[in-house]
Structure 1
Amino acid sequence: MRSTEGPTHMQPAIDFPADHSGAVIPLHLVLGTAAKVLCSAVFLSGRSIEDARRHSLVHALFVHHLHDVLYDLVRVEVDGEERSVTVSVVLDRPGVEQIVKGYRAYYADLDANWQVESERLLSLGAVSRTARFTGDQGSVILPPDDRPLGFEPVPVRTTLPDPATQEWPMGDLLGGAGVSAVDRVLVAAAIDAGFRGDLAATAAVVVLHRGEIVGERYRDGIDAHTQLESWSMGKSLTGTLIGVLIQQGHLSLDQPAPIQEWQGDGDPRATIRIRDLMQMSSGLLYSGQDDPRQRWPLAVPEHLYIYSDTVDAFERAIGSPAEHPPGTVGRYRNCDPLTLGAIIRRTVTEKLGENYHQWPQAALFDRIGIRRQVLETDWHGNFLLTGFDYGTARNWARLGLLYLQDGVWEGERVLPEGWSQFVSTPAAAWPEPCYGGQFWLNRTREFALPEEAYFMAGYGEQRVFVVPSADLVIVRMGHRSDTDAPREATNAMLRLLMEAVGSA
């Protein structure tokens, strides 16, 4: 069954040519991101295409700063039988003029031959990209040809019983005598503030006090079982999996990163430690959104390229040359968590001899009550936890609770002793005390929480706040961040939650 949403004046779209090296405006990459995000929204989260287009499409286009230009030009086709989504844009002269004008306005300092770029876009006629849902490995962006998927998807199954038969936090049964005396009316008022305004696009909020759910709410069409886009909160999940391997004795924080490609004579990358990667201080050369537009390869920064095409994300990160000595410059770059991801994959498959795609469920999720957490992959089967991961709000609350308890769950140590302190300690190489070990820190008081709070963070104002002094975990999930409304609503909620806890 097929459904189409968007402009109906489309001519048949042609797939992009293999070589887009001359592109200034990378529509083939922009649409790759959009197709993946929409495919996951529909087939993984179970949202309607109308809702996904209204919120998640804007968000996906905003990644590349083309949301204002492309939103009304995009045509979306959903194929229920193939479980795929195709996103297309017609490239007639009015459309091209609109796209070029919008792109030039945002990248005003970019020196390019805009006439040549306009003619290049016109010559394409149209551009389309498709993503397909694979099952428990989520959705992947497809190449333009008929190559088979670069890995074999596998089912991921929990060994836990029905969550309705177990009490929180191992299950979903709530009630009974709680340990929190917080005023639930004040908590409800705080959550009201977090959902206020359509532009906030808040999808879910879960509040834990002393391990107990004291507040929980979902937007219409979403519930406690909905797998929600989590974006870069997956970086903290990558760090957590590294912590699991360290606790099991397979890795150590200060060992040189076990990357064979870095072990050649005189290779400066040989001194990069797992600690440096955890603190995003590896010094690898890898362009980001804060670099000048002229430095971006393929017309997008390396930081975003992995979300847009069929690239092997791990190999691309590992292949990055050294730019700075490790531990001297702290920057937000996907190469570091991707390299950690490669270490996880190689350790699990080569050292442990276990199935890579199934390992996180047994090694982490089943141990803390998470029945399903979808870790999406690139086309080659690498977990793309820098941005493509889906979990319920309660799942993320459980992960936050694990950190609040310093990695101990029901008496069993899951993460190394002191791991929570490590991830919440400022990384020395960063110019400000805002980043720890794959977690962000509130030392700069960006949020209306105590300075000692630390948090998982993802695009779209995805947040899991851990506040040890207040015995709090706060999960906020949403669909977009193209305005200030999500941040304002989140901070309004946090201020009221701290008042509620203070009155307990």
Structure 2
Amino acid sequence: MSKKVLTKKVALSLLSLVVSLLLAGVFWLGPAYIIAAPSVATGMGAKLACSSKYVSGLTEQQAKNDLTSYSPILAELAVHFDDQTQTVVTSFYGFSASASFHPGLGCAIDFAGTDARQGVVVPALVSAPGEWPLGSKVNTIDPDLQAVLDQILSADNAAGLESRALLLVQGDRIVAESYAPGIGPQSQLLGWSMGKSVTAIAIGRLLYEDRLRLDETDLFSEWRNDERKHIAVKDLLTMTDGLDFDEIYAPGKDVTRMLFTEPNAASFALQSSALHEPGSHFNYSSGSANILSALVQQRSGASLQGNVSFLDASLYKPLGLTHALFESDAGGTLVGSSYFYASARDWARLGLLMLNKGEINGQRLLTREFVEMASSPNASSNEKAYGFQFWLNAGDASLRWPNVPKDAYAAMGNRSQIVMIMPSDSLVFVRLGWTNGEYPTDANIAKVVAAARKN
């Protein structure tokens, strides 16, 4: 095909795309949006659909429904699942993308000539004998608390809120867990930005093993010759690193480009320029979380194989995780901002580690000081109620969740997903789902806390 014909074909595809966007109700279109939309749509569609089916085990129809809930534009995608190769291909007005599954590392968008996942062996997660949290036996369900979670799940889904798993830990026991049809204790579900908290815990483990310091600077060679060399580990953990990274989820913006069009998310984020003095200004940034993921890899063997081996030996096995998976991108770095999949019971294990100040299953994995700092306000001038990749209830002018304990803090992810730790009540609450819109987090957790206090 000649260059002239190809250019005409692309132009016609873009024109068709603009018409489709207008019909879908998108009336403001900037040039950056129009140019980036096809690659973001196809990349996002291939990646999420691949993971939904081959990691979470959802049906093809559910995978498509979850995808199109983000935008009516995504309903225009043609999505093809190839079970033999465990690959998903999407196409959209002449543009296309694919994503492929790798055992233990999940799905990644394909880029020609780039797949650092090849040859990486991820140790299998095997359940230990005995009771949860080390083992998989759960015989501590409280009927009254179970009824509360069942009622919340039923009401949620009658209202179209797509709750998939609710789980409550009291002390060190699972006292209630409720699942939507097709979901169970072994379902590996995407936590989105709850993965940031997992990345922070991995950093905490490196600190415990003296492979890193909170005040350490000059972290990356890319930053050595400019002001970014002054960014400390603590600044990245609190998202006060001062980097210029745009978290707006629209085509053409930093975060969508990083997650859906780049082979290596961390490498893209590392290119961010300095905007504020480190420690002075909070800016919620998935880029910062992926830089932390690159730091975990740098200090755990400087390779993807070294990284997954470290996490397995130093975190997953001591925690007792049985159904969890951290996805790598094609460039060979775990996507620490967004792509950690786990069962409700495994998400609860991570919450219990924090509730117990860094101890679980008779082992100390994190220092008590790290957990206390992770759940304490940062020192920024604009938004303090954020610790080490955890959202805090207290720290700003008003409580984030007015009706839950003041000392609560949480891993939070897109679609109103949460692992909330409530130290004063010795509770961990997990909610996994796919809510498109507002979810009554405060009211529902308040019901759970009130019932637990009566128990």
Q: What TM-score results when the alignment is normalised by the length of structure 1?
A: 0.79
SS at match of 1:418: helix
Partner of 2:79: 76
Partner of 1:48: 59
Measured after TM superposition, the shift of residue 327 of structure 1 is: 0.6
Aligned residues of 1:87 and 1:129 also touching (Cα < 8 A): yes
Partner of 1:374: 325
Partner of 1:319: 271
SS at match of 1:477: strand
1:284 counterpart letter in structure 2 = L
Aligned residues of 2:149 and 2:448 also touching (Cα < 8 A): no
Unaligned runs of 5+ in 2: 1-11, 15-30
SS at match of 2:289: helix
Measured after TM superposition, the shift of residue 39 of structure 1 is: 0.4
Aligned residues of 1:75 and 1:87 also touching (Cα < 8 A): yes
Q: Of the candidates 271, 279, 284, which is equivalent to residue 332 of structure 1?
A: 284
> Is 1:173 the counterpart of 2:137 in the alignment?
yes
> Is 1:138 the counterpart of 2:123 in the alignment?
no
Q: 1:339 to 1:185 in 2, by over 3 A?
A: closer
Partner of 2:437: 483
Q: What TM-score results when the alignment is normalised by the length of structure 2?
A: 0.87
Aligned residues of 1:137 and 1:153 also touching (Cα < 8 A): no
> Is 1:229 the counterpart of 2:193 in the alignment?
no
Measured after TM superposition, the shift of residue 27 of structure 1 is: 1.4
Residue by residue over 1:435-462, the C-alpha shift from the partner in whole angstroms, topping out at 9 and shown as x without a partner, is 1111011124333411210000111112
Partner of 2:27: none
Partner of 2:429: 474
Measured after TM superposition, the shift of residue 28 of structure 1 is: 1.4
> Is 1:241 the counterpart of 2:202 in the alignment?
yes
Q: How does 1:323-472 map to 2 (within 5 A)?
A: 323-350=275-302, 355-429=306-380, 431-443=382-394, 444-447=398-401, 448-472=403-427
Q: 1:414 to 1:15 in 2, by over 3 A?
A: farther
User: Which whole-Å CA distance do the structure 2 matches of 1:340 and 1:141 have between them?
Assistant: 21
Measured after TM superposition, the shift of residue 142 of structure 1 is: 1.2
RMSD, matched Cα: 2.6
Measured after TM superposition, the shift of residue 135 of structure 1 is: 1.5
User: Which whole-Å CA distance do the structure 2 matches of 1:445 and 1:353 have between them?
Assistant: 40
Aligned residues of 1:280 and 1:331 also touching (Cα < 8 A): yes
Question: Mean Cα displacement is larger for which, 310-319 or 279-288?
Answer: 310-319
Q: Paired residues, what number?
A: 425
Aligned residues of 1:131 and 1:139 also touching (Cα < 8 A): yes
Q: 1:455 to 1:141 in 2, by over 3 A?
A: same
Aligned residues of 1:167 and 1:173 also touching (Cα < 8 A): yes
Residue by residue over 1:45-87, the C-alpha shift from the partner in whole angstroms, topping out at 9 and shown as x without a partner, is 1111011112x2124xx2xxxx12332x222111111111112
Measured after TM superposition, the shift of residue 405 of structure 1 is: 0.2
Measured after TM superposition, the shift of residue 223 of structure 1 is: 0.8
SS at match of 1:132: strand
1:58 counterpart letter in structure 2 = T
- Spell out structure 1 runs of 4+ moving beyond 6 A: none
Q: 1:22 to 1:432 in 2, by over 3 A?
A: closer
Question: Mean Cα displacement is larger for which, 166-175 or 353-362?
Answer: 353-362
Measured after TM superposition, the shift of residue 198 of structure 1 is: 5.1
User: Which whole-Å CA distance do the structure 1 matches of 2:33 and 2:289 have between them?
Assistant: 29
Measured after TM superposition, the shift of residue 199 of structure 1 is: 2.2
Q: 1:188 to 1:341 in 2, by over 3 A?
A: closer
SS at match of 1:172: strand
User: Which whole-Å CA distance do the structure 1 matches of 2:114 and 2:216 have between them?
Assistant: 37
Q: How does 1:273-288 map to 2 (within 5 A)?
A: 273-288=232-247
User: Which whole-Å CA distance do the structure 2 matches of 1:363 and 1:398 have between them?
Assistant: 14
Q: Of the candidates 78, 86, 91, which is equivalent to residue 89 of structure 2?
A: 86
Aligned residues of 1:190 and 1:496 also touching (Cα < 8 A): no
Residue by residue over 1:200-232, the C-alpha shift from the partner in whole angstroms, topping out at 9 and shown as x without a partner, is 111111110111111101111111111111111
SS at match of 1:205: strand
User: Which whole-Å CA distance do the structure 1 matches of 2:348 and 2:219 have between them?
Assistant: 32
Measured after TM superposition, the shift of residue 411 of structure 1 is: 3.0
SS at match of 2:368: coil
SS at match of 1:128: strand
Q: 1:231 to 1:135 in 2, by over 3 A?
A: same
User: Which whole-Å CA distance do the structure 2 matches of 1:181 and 1:389 have between them?
Assistant: 29
Q: 1:192 to 1:183 in 2, by over 3 A?
A: same
Q: 1:134 to 1:491 in 2, by over 3 A?
A: same
Q: 1:229 to 1:467 in 2, by over 3 A?
A: same
Partner of 1:96: none
Q: Of the candidates 170, 193, 198, which is equivalent to residue 209 of structure 1?
A: 170
1:499 counterpart letter in structure 2 = A
Question: Mean Cα displacement is larger for which, 357-366 or 25-34?
Answer: 25-34
1:411 counterpart letter in structure 2 = G
Measured after TM superposition, the shift of residue 148 of structure 1 is: 4.7
Residue by residue over 1:98-152, the C-alpha shift from the partner in whole angstroms, topping out at 9 and shown as x without a partner, is xxxxxxxxxxxxxxxxxxxxxxxxxxxx222211111211101113xx4252342
1:32 counterpart letter in structure 2 = G
Aligned residues of 1:190 and 1:492 also touching (Cα < 8 A): no
2:189 counterpart letter in structure 1 = L
> Is 1:272 the counterpart of 2:283 in the alignment?
no
SS at match of 1:357: helix
Measured after TM superposition, the shift of residue 158 of structure 1 is: 4.1
SS at match of 1:338: helix
Q: 1:310 to 1:317 in 2, by over 3 A?
A: closer
User: Which whole-Å CA distance do the structure 2 matches of 1:430 and 1:476 have between them?
Assistant: 31
Residue by residue over 1:382-430, the C-alpha shift from the partner in whole angstroms, topping out at 9 and shown as x without a partner, is 1002111211111000000000000012332100122221111111215
Residue by residue over 1:317-356, the C-alpha shift from the partner in whole angstroms, topping out at 9 and shown as x without a partner, is 2222211110111010122111111111111114x99722
> Is 1:494 the counterpart of 2:445 in the alignment?
yes
What percent identity do the matched residue pairs reach? 28
